[in-house]
Amino acid sequence: MADRLTPERRSWLMSRVRDKNTTPEVRVRKEAHALGLRFRLHRRDLPGKPDLVFVGRRVALFVHGCFWHRHPGCRKASMPSTRSDYWVEKFKANVARYSRVVADLEALGWHVVAVWECETKDPEALSRFLRQRILERHLG
């Protein structure tokens, strides 16, 4: 199926995709704050500039977009029908880059947590996830 948008319109639309302060990221920040967790945002001195950094707990959290990071089994991780060669390479590069970032952070003594965009929609489930992966990890 051909793209219904002109190349100029598609370019404009893609230029609007943000990498910071996305809706899923803001949801995670609100839930973390409600749990009493304090964090720093986008630490540029850490590999991959994690979305949230819980410094005292040495946890780096990434909020992954299901489309961009290829969430397995998620309907949002669809493959665009045009320029498929470009997209396959783009997605492979995204996944490989994240793997390198995780290895680099772990080598520095950080625990890495990723939450998927689709997992941020239910506040109660998100709260449970944050409690299990960040709070309870350090109790014991």
Q: Give per-residue pLDDT as tens, 62-117.
A: 999 898 888 998 988 888 888 889 889 999 999 999 999 999 999 999 999 999 99
Residues 13-35: pLDDT tens digits? 666 666 677 899 999 999 999 99
Label residue 73 left, alpha or beta by phi (over 0 means left) and psi (-120 to 50 means alpha).
left
Q: Which of 137, 110, 113, 120 is nearest to 31 (CA)?
A: 120
Structural domains in the chain, sorted by start: 26-38+58-138 (3.40.960.10)
Torsion of CA 8, 117, 86, 100, to 10 degrees: 130
C-alpha distances in angstroms, 12 versus 8, 82, 137? 6, 17, 42
pLDDT for the residue 61? 97
The pLDDT-based confidence of 11 (bands split at 50, 70, 90) is low
Q: Is the pLDDT of residue 140 over 70?
A: no
